[in-house]
Amino acid sequence: MAGTDAYADDPASACAVMTRPRSSLVSPTDTRWYHCISRCVRRAFLCGDDFSSGRNFDHRRTWITDRLLELSGLFAIDVAAYAVMSNHYHLILHLAPERAAAWSDDDVLQRWTSLFAGPPLIRRYLTTQGAPLDEIERNQLRQFAAIIRERLQDLSWYLRLLNESISRRANVEDDCRGRFWEGRFKSQALLDLSAVISAMIYVDLNPVRAGMVSTLEASSHTSIRARLLERESARNKNLLMPFDATGRTSSAIPFGLEDYITLAEWRGRLQRSDKRGSIKKELPPILGRLGLEEEAFIAMSGQLLQTFGSAIGSPATMTEHCNRHDLKYLRGLAAVKSGRDES
């Protein structure tokens, strides 16, 4: 039976996650992988049913997924997983700065001007197909391209353009002004492959845990639903980051798609006392075959927001992260060491 997802995670604990500067929370030298959450600040729901007004906003879920994948075609940022809920969304994003570094200046400018008009010099240069420029104009062009290249690989710019476009459309539809989202998106650094897979499964299982649906294939507006549809028909294409268990593809998740789907299904069948929903059958154990320690995996994939703070990973990678940033404490380290959720 469909329900709301107000308890899919704990907003109070989510707000307590991030108090450090954004530059220390998002650093490609630490990790390329991040779990990001944005939450609607208004009483009216972002998507789904608003029981206070009786209105339905399901169509806004498509706004988000369409814009999300459009931006991924322009930025050097990959979408590994997403879930669009009633008043918030979850993303697992992968930064690819080496891809942006390989773009030509013309490519950078074309990408940016598909989002913004750009200054007159850039518009003139692009519309006249490389008309001659004097030395001052060439320097301006190079400087502008360097700035834009940085923006097109920046997580904050990516989420800013996603959120601003949705906010504008929602304000027009609601005939109002004002803030639509909380002040800052929340982010968690994913320090190793186990953390990445755990976070992806946490995101893909959000509608199941909220009691909105009973199976993964029924979870509309999630990445796993998009992947399942693509498997069923070659006509269903998406721009999600692909899986590649061989590890030979740099812009791919180094894991098998079939193993991931099976693992997500297995994890969804485990009933949690603090969540309403689960997938109601048993699967043969597969964690041993995949080389993941069962209790630590359950701790990580169960309560990312409640258990962990600004970074998620194995005890070794979390300890290394603390040492690198001179942190005396990192929330979740004790839990993953003991293989259980912190209360």
Are residues 158 and 145 part of one domain?
no
Identify the pLDDT of residue 300.
Answer: 54
Any domain includes 1: no
Identify the pLDDT of residue 342.
Answer: 39
SS3 (DSSP) at 224: helix
Identify the pLDDT of residue 150.
Answer: 96
Are residues 31 and 177 part of one domain?
yes
Identify the pLDDT of residue 246.
Answer: 82
Tell me the per-residue pLDDT of 97-119, one tens digit each, with 9 for 90 and over. 999 999 999 999 999 999 998 88
User: Cα–Cα distance between 3 and 7 in angstroms, integer?
Assistant: 10
Are residues 133 and 234 part of one domain?
no
Are residues 285 and 207 part of one domain?
yes
**H or E element: which one contains 146?**
helix 135-151
Any domain includes 4: no
The structure's pTM equals 0.75
Any domain includes 5: no
Question: Among the three residues 151, 184, 214, which one is the final residue of a domain in this structure?
Answer: 151
Any domain includes 296: yes
Tokens of 122: 């850039």
Q: Burial, 200: exposed, middle or buried (Cβ in 10 Å; 0-12, 13-18, 19+)?
A: buried
Any domain includes 131: yes
Q: What CATH number is associated with residue 314?
A: 3.30.70.1290
Are residues 235 and 111 part of one domain?
no
Range 206-243 burial, b when 16+ CB lie within 10 A, else e: bbbbbbbbbebeebbbbbbbbbbebeeeeeeebebbeb
Are residues 163 and 146 part of one domain?
no
Domain encompassing residue 120: 104-151
Identify the pLDDT of residue 324.
Answer: 82
Tell me the per-residue pLDDT of 229-260, one tens digit each, with 9 for 90 and over. 877 655 556 678 999 888 777 789 988 888 88
Q: Which residues of the chain have pLDDT under 50?
A: 1-18, 280, 282-290, 340-343
Q: What letter would DSSP give residue 218?
A: G
Identify the pLDDT of residue 108.
Answer: 95
> Tokens 């998740």 label which residue?
253
Q: Which residues pair with 63 in a beta bridge?
A: none
Q: How far is CA 64 from CA 115, 159, 261, in A?
A: 16, 11, 23
How many domains does one find in the chain?
2
Any domain includes 3: no
Residues with Cβ within 8 Å of 160's Cβ and at least 6 positions away in sequence, in order, are: none
Tokens of 145: 């391209």
Are residues 49 and 183 part of one domain?
yes
Any domain includes 130: yes
Question: Among the three residues 131, 151, 171, which one is the final residue of a domain in this structure?
Answer: 151
CB 221 within 8 A of CB 84: yes
Are residues 280 and 190 part of one domain?
yes
Are residues 193 and 48 part of one domain?
yes
Question: Among the three residues 86, 117, 151, which one is the final residue of a domain in this structure?
Answer: 151
Are residues 303 and 198 part of one domain?
yes
Q: What letter would DSSP give residue 253?
A: B
Are residues 272 and 139 part of one domain?
no
Are residues 305 and 193 part of one domain?
yes
Any domain includes 343: no
Tokens of 228: 């399942």
